[in-house]
Structure 1
Amino acid sequence: MVEIILNKGKDKAAWQLHPWVFSGAIGRIEGKPQNGEMVKVFNDRKEFIAYGYYNGESRVAIRLLEWDPANQVDEGWWRRRIQKAIELRNNIFENGQTTTARLIFSEADFLPGLIVDRFGDFISVQILTTGIENIKPIIVDELNKLLKPKGIYQRQDASARAHEGLAVSAGVLLGEHPPAFVEVLENGVHYHVNIAEGQKSGFYCDQRENRLYLTKYVRGKRVLDCFCYSGGFSLNALMKGAAHVESVDSSALAIETLKSNIVLNQLAETSYTAVQSDVNKQLKKYWEDGRKFDIVVLDPPKYAPSRSSLDKAARAYKELNRLGLSLLESGGLLASFSCSGAMDIATFKQVLAWAALDAGKEIQFIYQFNQPDDHPIRASFPEGEYLKGLLCRVV
């Protein structure tokens, strides 16, 4: 096995079980590893640190997997890790009210570069690193043994794969091709999920608990759900007695899926309005028209993909939340989210405080939203914490 020796003083994070070794930390390589090949990692005194897989084309040159030198990373190791991750999610499905969740969450499950989601009888897989690409047959076989799905489908993530020097790849890995819409349950709400063409893995199961929590406040209320996608917050609000829900998204596919989900749950079509529009433009229109809502949900895409873009993202978050707050009166609620890992909760609170000031509103933070237990945050990998949200009350 190729041996990689780190520069002096560049081994601290690795000893602390952080799974990333950046290319600049490498002192020398004894051998010529292929991309995705397993390597041994040592400090400058040639003390063993961990096994990992290597990629010379990636800024993260080594993804560390195992710190015990006696536990070599072989086929059995990979299978045990997959088994453990899935076993830890069994509780989510026990009551029969939920049939969709994240089964494997990359570094958090000691499987960096692998994302696996369950959608009823189908499995969606994202493979983002060369090391995981090399063991794809093992992954597919183990998922099939454990879950017996109708089909396993690989989603493409072109940008992440490009960083690893991987070609775009998507399609059926095993079994049937998923139909245009796969029906799933989340907390008793029915959804049609487009696995092959929908955003990300096909459905945002990371908002499962947050959607349910917000229903405490919706009965008899006028709810505005922005960036609604397939209608997670909208459907939950309608199911729990909201007077009316207005759902906004720029995607025609999202609006089409939302309408399908309204019918699927046998909800009154007069109880909601679906608007295909740019959210910021639509919020400005509502303000110009003098529209008011009792609850506004803002769940935008990732504005800050990296720390270098954080200042620009903060300005975008502030303007979005200013517009949302302008549609609320005293007692109104704003549920605002950020899925940008670079935006920590303290910064997000400050951004919302600025937005409230610009909107001429005084707000209270009454609840903090987080990612659910199928998206765990590994203590040695805080970068896995990305989803955050705040429930704010206008006073």
Structure 2
Amino acid sequence: MREYTKFYITPKGERAARSGHPWVYAEEITRIEGEYQNGDLVDVVTNKGKYLGTGFVNDHSKIRVRLISTNTNDKFDADFWERRLRYAIDYRRTVMPGADFKCCRLIFGEADHFPGLTVDRFNDILVAQTLSLGIEVRKELIFNLLYKILREQGEEIRGLYERNDVKIRLLEGMEENKGWFAFAEAAEPGEPLTEIVENGIRYNVDVENGQKTGFFLDQKYNRQAIAKIAKGKHVLDCFTHTGAFALNAAAGGAAAVTAVDISAEAVQMTDANASKNGLDKVVKGLKANVFDLLSELVNNKSREYDFIILDPPAFTKSGSTVKNAIRGYKEINLKAMKLLPRGGYLATCSCSHFMKEELFVQMLHDAAADANVQLRQIEARQQSPDHPILWNVPETYYLKFYIFQVV
């Protein structure tokens, strides 16, 4: 006899659960049998009482239950979580071999069946973000197991830094915070700073103050693709953040790279990273609003650049603002296409799940038509495989990345 409280759900919710989607929304619940506290494990069943899965419940969230298992035989003890962690780590060792394993996403939420949990590895520091209450109440067990497994495998890990300074935690009934997690067996972690090597390029990473978890890992192999075609090019890298695309282009032999960001701090970091890698003669940081800069270059009929990279932040974080986002994406892509000479190169992307691939592609078609150019596709790419896309969970697919020649 199972001891978990039962949540009966609608036929619509049942179809989603049977298709492999792990979220049960509040409006899909028809009745509840038993008592529970937020963060508890509960069973989700059909209206006829047939078992569908077990997950974390939270009344504060629109996603009332986040399923973690569809196996009635699972016992959710330390062994269960250790198996699941080993599975995720083994996958990363396979798809991010060698040096890439030192700098990758180890846990990618629902795609690894850890709802609401992100863990990134930056050399000797792990950075975690916990966005579901069910994981929050079990994080001591999960984080200590993760540390134990990595140490067993010979990996040097000096600490895990929590970046829970995000508003979404408030929607889950949790407080915002950040700071070092206290492992059961580990020395004092020291400063929240480390150095990583990605694609042979060195970066300083500040896990306390950097955006999100400190550095964007999902574009790793897209940056390599940029480096392959950058030789001899005059590159404009827009929304450069820490200069990663700019530095990869420079390492690939670009003649000159202008790395643009509206943040003075980002420009300083880009210049520091360029200097660190001996690329400061090629890469120059520029503090500017990308929209204004592109307009100015178009108005001046500039032909300074023959390779433009557009890596903007997510212009939309909800379905309700997609139309505005499309306008923003179109504006920068249209201007880039107008700026590039025939035979020039454009790399462009969207990192928003809500900007569906078909919408992004249509926007590019419309921008090309308005710019009176044709796009010759070189590559269509996605997020790197340490951010795996689970086909049953479309929310795990968010990064669309294209490289074109403008003809």
Same fold (TM over 0.5): yes
Cα distance in 2 between the residues matched to 1:116 and 1:36 = 20
Q: Which one-letter code corresponds to 1:167 in the other structure?
A: E
Q: Deviations over 1:238-295 (max 9, x none)?
A: 111100000001122211211121121122x231221112111121222233333111
Cα distance in 2 between the residues matched to 1:108 and 1:353 = 31
**Residue of structure 2 in register with 1:108 after alignment:** 111
Cα distance in 2 between the residues matched to 1:37 and 1:279 = 46
Pairwise CA distance, 1:235? 0.7
| Alignment partner of 1:339 is 2:342 | no
**Residue of structure 2 in register with 1:49 after alignment:** 52
TM-score, with length taken from structure 2: 0.93
Q: Which one-letter code corresponds to 1:152 in the other structure?
A: L
Give the % identical residues. 37
2:79 corresponds to which of 56, 76, 79: 76
Cα distance in 1 between the residues matched to 2:387 and 2:12 = 32
Pairwise CA distance, 1:197? 0.7
- Unmatched runs of 5 consecutive residues or more in structure 2: 152-156
Give yes or no for contact 1:53–1:62 (8 Å, CA) kept in 2. Answer: yes
| Alignment partner of 1:66 is 2:77 | no
Q: Deviations over 1:311-337 (max 9, x none)?
A: 111111111111221220100111000
Q: Which one-letter code corresponds to 1:270 in the other structure?
A: K
**Residue of structure 1 in register with 2:13 after alignment:** 10
Q: Which one-letter code corresponds to 1:225 in the other structure?
A: D
Question: What SS class does the counterpart of residue 94 from structure 2 fall into?
Answer: helix
Which one is further off, 196-205 or 175-184?
175-184
Superposition RMSD in Å: 1.6
**Residue of structure 1 in register with 2:154 after alignment:** none
Pairwise CA distance, 1:90? 1.2
| Alignment partner of 1:25 is 2:28 | yes
Q: 1:99 to 1:314 in 2, by over 3 A?
A: same
**Residue of structure 2 in register with 1:278 after alignment:** 289
Cα distance in 2 between the residues matched to 1:324 and 1:181 = 36
**Residue of structure 1 in register with 2:302 after alignment:** 291
Q: 1:278 to 1:156 in 2, by over 3 A?
A: farther
Q: Which one-letter code corresponds to 1:259 in the other structure?
A: D
Cα distance in 2 between the residues matched to 1:117 and 1:180 = 14
Q: Which one-letter code corresponds to 2:368 in the other structure?
A: A
| Alignment partner of 1:374 is 2:386 | yes
Question: What SS class does the counterpart of residue 75 from structure 2 fall into?
Answer: coil
Pairwise CA distance, 1:92? 5.3
**Residue of structure 1 in register with 2:240 after alignment:** 228
Give yes or no for contact 2:379–2:404 (8 Å, CA) kept in 1. Answer: yes
Cα distance in 1 between the residues matched to 2:49 and 2:100 = 52
Pairwise CA distance, 1:93? 5.5
| Alignment partner of 1:95 is 2:98 | yes
- The residue correspondences of 1:357-372 to structure 2 (distance < 5 A) are 357-372=369-384
**Residue of structure 2 in register with 1:156 after alignment:** 164
Q: 1:390 to 1:373 in 2, by over 3 A?
A: same
Q: Which one-letter code corresponds to 2:163 in the other structure?
A: R
Question: What SS class does the counterpart of residue 306 from structure 2 fall into?
Answer: strand
- The residue correspondences of 1:277-356 to structure 2 (distance < 5 A) are 277-292=288-303, 293-356=305-368
Cα distance in 2 between the residues matched to 1:176 and 1:286 = 51
Q: Paired residues, what number?
A: 394
Give yes or no for contact 1:224–1:297 (8 Å, CA) kept in 2. Answer: yes
Question: What SS class does the counterpart of residue 170 from structure 1 fall into?
Answer: strand
Pairwise CA distance, 1:54? 0.3
Q: Deviations over 1:39-68 (max 9, x none)?
A: 011110011111101011111000001111
Which one is further off, 193-202 or 142-151?
142-151
Cα distance in 2 between the residues matched to 1:140 and 1:152 = 8
| Alignment partner of 1:255 is 2:258 | no
Q: 1:138 to 1:98 in 2, by over 3 A?
A: closer
- Unmatched runs of 5 consecutive residues or more in structure 1: none
Give yes or no for contact 2:161–2:192 (8 Å, CA) kept in 1. Answer: no
**Residue of structure 2 in register with 1:244 after alignment:** 256
2:214 corresponds to which of 199, 202, 218: 202
Moved over 6 A (4+): none
Give yes or no for contact 1:79–1:138 (8 Å, CA) kept in 2. Answer: no
Q: Which one-letter code corresponds to 2:103 in the other structure?
A: T
Q: Which one-letter code corresponds to 2:359 in the other structure?
A: T
- The residue correspondences of 1:159-178 to structure 2 (distance < 5 A) are 159-174=167-182, 176-177=188-189
Cα distance in 1 between the residues matched to 2:90 and 2:98 = 16
